[in-house]
Each structure stands twice: as C-alpha cells, then as structure tokens.
C-alpha cells in the first residue's frame, strides 16, 4: 500500500508537470480539537464507562488511539508547543504568563507569556499553503494585538484570552483577573448572551467551517474547548443525566476505571496503580453531607464531558453533511492531566473573600451560572488512574493525554499505538500531510529548531513508532524536570511530590511510577542527569526560585500542610 506521505509528494509534483489519468487527491482538511484539563480515562475510548462519549468513540473506531502521548502539565505551554512544534521555552512560553520572576529577564523571548517571533504557527504555514484558517475557544497565548489569533495566522477567530473563567459569561477565574476578555477577529467583544461555553465555541466554529467549505478551500480549524476546566458548570439537562451515577465514590470509581483500561489495552500489561497522595479523605470516611457534595461535583463534571462530546458530534455531523468528512483529519486530545484544585488555589483567591463576594457557592447552585467549584483531588485521582499525581506536576498523571487521530491516511482503523509521542509532533505531522512548509524565518528572524517529529508513518502503517527505541527528550515546567531516554524516565520533583533529587523509572514496565530505580542504576542516572543539564542550557531554562514556586503553586498540594477544602455553603 502506498503511504500517505508518498501521495502528498505525488500531489506536489503534479503542479510542476503534466499528469495524465486520475486527478491527485485534494489536500486534507485538518481539525484539532483540544479539551482543557480532561483526564486520560475520562472518555469511553480510554476506559470511561459511566460518562457517555459516542462521538469520540466513533472517531477512535475510525482512527487510531495513541496511549503514550505526552503534553506539558499545564495549559499554555502545551498550546505553544502544539501550534509551533517548538519546545515551549524557545517558543516564548517557558512558564505560564501569570507567573514571573526576575530570572526570566536573562532569557529574552523565552518567558514572555505568549508566542515570540522565533516561531511560526500551524495557522500561519497552512494559510500560506492556501488553507482557510479559523479557531474558536480558549487562546491563552497572549492578549496584545500582535499576540492575538489573527496576528498568528487565524483568518477568523472567537477566543477567550484568559486562562479560564465562567462558562456562561465574563466572570473571571482569578481575583487578580476578575473579568475575562473575549475577542472576535482580534476585536474585543462582550460575553453577555448566556450560552454555555462549549455550545458557543462550537456555534462559531461550525459557522467558520461552513464559510470555508462554501469558499471551496481546504481548511484548518482549531477548536479549543474551555471545558472541562473549572469552575465546574454545565447545562442542567447534561448534569441530570448523571444524577446518582457516582454514588460508589471516587475510590471505587478509580479501581473500576483501572480495570477497564487494562481490558481495553490502553495501558501496558502489568502496569501497577500508583498510590494516591493523602490529599483527600477515603470515601468510606466521608459524612453524608460531604458525600453529597462530592457526588454532585462529579455529576457536573460528567455533564461537561458529555456536552463536550455532543459538540464534537455537531462538528462531525456538519462534515458529513457537506461531504468533507472522509477527507478531514481530526486530532483530539487534552492539554494536560486532570486538575486536583479547588477554587481557592488560583492567584488572589486564597482567603475566599472574592469568591464570597462574586459567586453563589450554595449546594443547590452547583453547576449553574454563578457557581464556583473545582474537581478536587479525590475525583482527579480517578481521572488520572493509574498514573501518579495530576495537572501541574511533571508525572504521567500530569502529562499523559488521550490522543485520537482520524483521517484518510489511517491504515488500521480502530488500532492503538503505544509508541512515545509528544505534543510537538503534531506540527510536523500536519505539515507533512498537507505539503506545507514551515519556512526558515518569521519577520526576518530565524526560526527556533523544531522539537517535534512527524508520525505520519505511524498513521499510514509504514512504521510502528515515530521515534527510535533509544530516543531522547527533555522537558521542564515550574522546576519539574524530566529527561527520557528510550524506556527510561529521569524525574526531579520537589518534596513531597518527589524526593528533591533525581528519580528513575522504567516506563515500559512501570508507567504508574511506583518504583524508583535510581539506587539500582546510578550510572544511568548520572548519564541522564548530564544530558538533562545540557538540554536545559540549550533551551535556556531558568533556575527557579524554589520558595516562589512553593508559595505560588506547590504548597497548596503539599499534604504535609493539610488537605485542600472546597468552598461550599451547605445551607
């Protein structure tokens, strides 16, 4: 069977020489659909058996599931790496823009909280290729005019600029950013019509897609859902579907999901479940009122996932009605692992005063407009099962993501693949399948090197892995350090999440990161630690002020200091 890359090559040659016989296939449309804070096992293709996700199940059946795909442990660094194929530090998003230290000024362009001029985006290169380009949803890659979607290649856009906020209006997520900002085609617009976020973004996205179809152009669309990021909110009908469905509690739910994942083969055989950190009470120890709150929280979360899937179904239905479905590549994944936070975690929220002033935190209002609740560690641990920890931390629970790719080049529909992939690999894969060129410079400034590698050869069946068995890859965020060398993963995490020293894991045998092998293989640790330091220097990674990180981020989840609490008025 001829590989899809060969077909693309033939198509590009067709423009330069006469061709007799059948016309070359049209270039594929490309849609990237991104969920926010969705856990690896939160959908049916990856182990979920309570929350219904038929649209994603259909895409998995017609496409491929990738079970060793990794992102950054928080959102905007993942988005930067996705859209550019470049390491997040070199792309300008060495850390989220909400966090700054003086040390960052020593690396101009690496820690600016937006994309810099040393990278091109997928939208920019595909627009140059003749594609219509559009996006709807969460941007979180800068809010200055030169940083907005239109300035980075999207011809049409409707975007949330902030990290998050209400799913119904412009109420913010952070006390330091009490109102969110929305732009349409880079012009600030009100958010006052009351639609649920996933419905609103999909409405705009489908409109933009229809316009591209009517123009007769191939199209690149980026649908970046705000769901399932907190605050947990969903339409009442979606929540109602799941009333009473989670009464068994998060401990039993986690074990059942683990069994489902083993049965489906979306984790390696022999994977052991990581032990949960003592950040929440065992379900059996909760009093009835506590159980009622926790059940409602998960019912809302399930409604958000269900609604997200329904909106993906709307996109698929439009593609089928227009006859474009078969020639459209659809890429779906989550930007990081599930969040274990409650709402007092975010900047400015700690004392609860802004929350009390702005929101109705009563039990009866949970999930509705004006509510303000987070998932918390109990359910987050179920969503990250069987992996270690969650969003924010550079562990499997924070970085493994459920990737589905459906498209005409997929040679084995319904297959799974466990070869290592990173979010940066999507950029070169898309350029390979569309024949687009990244170029050498942007505004006369040389481009940073690609971090990603195309996995088109995996999709078309000509290879089983995009990387060699002894591949190497470094990563860092908020002082969490990682270096991979084939099956080996070297990890440095602050206490109590790690040992504040290098730890070593065999990710083929122990993806749950349950057994530190550093003491057994000191020579491997020494070798990989040196490789990490060389990588960090080449990527201009700062040496963080550890006290700043503890105060701003990690103390909240430090179980030695106690358990986080949901701010809920039970009256």
| 40 touches 332 (CB < 8 A) | no
**Cβ of 319: how many Cβ atoms within 10 Å?**
20
Nearest Cα neighbor of 307 from 165, 168, 199, 380 is: 199
Q: Which of 70, 89, 140, 253 is catalytic?
A: 140
| 423 touches 70 (CB < 8 A) | yes
- Quote the CA–CA distance of 80 and 142 in Å, as a whole number: 11
- Among the residues of 265-393, which ranges form H helices? 288-321, 353-358, 377-383
Beta bridge partners of 174: 177
- Among the residues of 403-545, which ranges form H helices? 426-434, 456-459, 522-538
- How far is CA 302 from each of CA 38, 111, 296, 347, 367, rounded to the nearest angstrom? 11, 35, 10, 26, 11
Q: Which of 70, 75, 229, 253 is catalytic?
A: 75
Handedness of CA 454, 455, 461, 462 (dihedral sign): positive
- Quote the CA–CA distance of 458 and 119 in Å, as a whole number: 26
| 303 touches 227 (CB < 8 A) | no
- DSSP 8-state secondary structure symbol assigned to residue 27: P
- Quote the CA–CA distance of 49 and 47 in Å, as a whole number: 6
- Cα–chain center distance at 171: 23
167 is catalytic: no
Using a CB cutoff of 8 Å and minimum separation of 24, what contacts does 208-216 make?
Answer: 208/134, 208/136, 208/156, 209/134, 209/315, 209/318, 209/319, 210/318, 210/322, 211/132, 211/156, 212/132, 212/134, 213/322, 213/324, 215/132
- Quote the CA–CA distance of 399 and 388 in Å, as a whole number: 10
Question: CB-side exposure of 252: number of CA atoms within 13 Å?
Answer: 9
- Quote the CA–CA distance of 92 and 94 in Å, as a whole number: 6
Residues belonging to the chain: 571
107 is catalytic: no
Tracing tokens 């022999």 back to the chain, one arrives at 270
| 60 touches 414 (CB < 8 A) | yes
- Residues taking part in catalysis: 75, 140
């Amino acid at each position: 069977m001829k590989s899809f890359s060969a077909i693309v090559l033939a198509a590009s040659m067709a423009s330069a020489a006469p061709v007799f016989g059948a016309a070359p296939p049209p270039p594929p449309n490309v849609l990237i659909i991104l969920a926010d804070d969705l856990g690896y096992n939160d959908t049916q293709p990856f182990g979920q058996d309570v929350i219904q996700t038929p649209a994603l199940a259909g895409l998995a059946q017609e496409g491929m599931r990738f079970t060793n795909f990794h992102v950054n442990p928080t959102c905007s660094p993942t988005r930067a790496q996705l859209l550019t194929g470049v390491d997040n530090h070199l792309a300008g998003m060495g850390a989220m823009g909400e966090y700054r230290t003086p040390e960052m000024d020593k690396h101009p362009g690496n820690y600016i909280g937006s994309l810099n001029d040393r990278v091109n985006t997928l939208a920019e290169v595909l627009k140059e290729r003749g594609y219509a380009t559009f996006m709807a949803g969460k941007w979180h890659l800068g809010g200055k005019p030169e940083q907005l979607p239109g300035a980075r290649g999207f011809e049409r856009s409707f975007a949330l600029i902030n990290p998050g906020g209400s799913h119904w209006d412009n109420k913010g997520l952070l006390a330091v950013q009490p109102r969110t900002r929305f732009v349409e085609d880079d012009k600030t617009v009100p958010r006052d019509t009351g639609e649920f976020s996933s419905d609103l973004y999909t409405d705009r996205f489908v409109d933009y897609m229809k316009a591209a179809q009517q123009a007769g152009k191939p199209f690149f669309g980026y649908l970046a859902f705000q769901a399932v990021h907190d605050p947990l909110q969903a339409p009442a009908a979606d929540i109602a579907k799941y009333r009473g469905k989670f009464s068994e509690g998060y401990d039993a739910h986690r074990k059942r999901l683990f069994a489902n994942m083993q049965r489906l083969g979306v984790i390696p055989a022999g994977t052991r479940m990581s032990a949960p950190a003592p950040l929440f009470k065992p379900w059996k120890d909760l009093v009835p009122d506590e159980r009622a709150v926790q059940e409602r929280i998960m019912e809302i979360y399930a409604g958000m996932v269900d609604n997200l899937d329904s909106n993906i179904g709307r996109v698929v239905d439009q593609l089928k009605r227009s006859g474009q479905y078969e020639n459209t590549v659809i890429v779906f994944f989550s930007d990081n692992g599930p969040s274990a936070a409650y709402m007092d975690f975010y900047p400015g929220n700690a004392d609860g005063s802004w929350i009390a002033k702005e929101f109705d935190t009563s039990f009866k209002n949970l999930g509705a407009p004006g509510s303000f609740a987070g998932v918390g560690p109990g359910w987050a641990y179920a969503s990250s099962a069987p992996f270690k920890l969650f969003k924010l931390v550079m562990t499997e629970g924070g970085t493994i993501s459920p990737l589905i790719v459906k498209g005409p080049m997929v040679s084995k529909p319904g297959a799974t693949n466990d070869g290592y992939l990173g979010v940066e690999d999507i950029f070169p894969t898309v350029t390979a399948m569309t024949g687009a060129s990244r170029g050498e410079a942007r505004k006369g400034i040389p481009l940073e090197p690609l971090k990603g590698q195309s996995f088109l050869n995996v999709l078309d069946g000509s290879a089983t892995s995009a990387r060699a068995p002894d591949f190497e890859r470094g990563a860092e965020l908020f002082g969490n350090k990682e270096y991979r060398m084939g099956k080996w993963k070297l990890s440095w995490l602050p206490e109590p999440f790690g040992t504040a020293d290098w730890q070593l894991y065999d990710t083929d045998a122990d993806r749950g990161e349950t057994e530190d092998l550093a003491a057994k293989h000191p020579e491997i640790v020494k070798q990989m630690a040196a490789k990490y330091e060389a990588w960090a220097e080449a990527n201009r990674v700062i040496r963080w002020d550890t006290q700043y990180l503890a105060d701003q981020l990690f103390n909240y989840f430090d179980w030695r200091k106690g358990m986080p609490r949901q701010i809920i008025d039970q009256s």
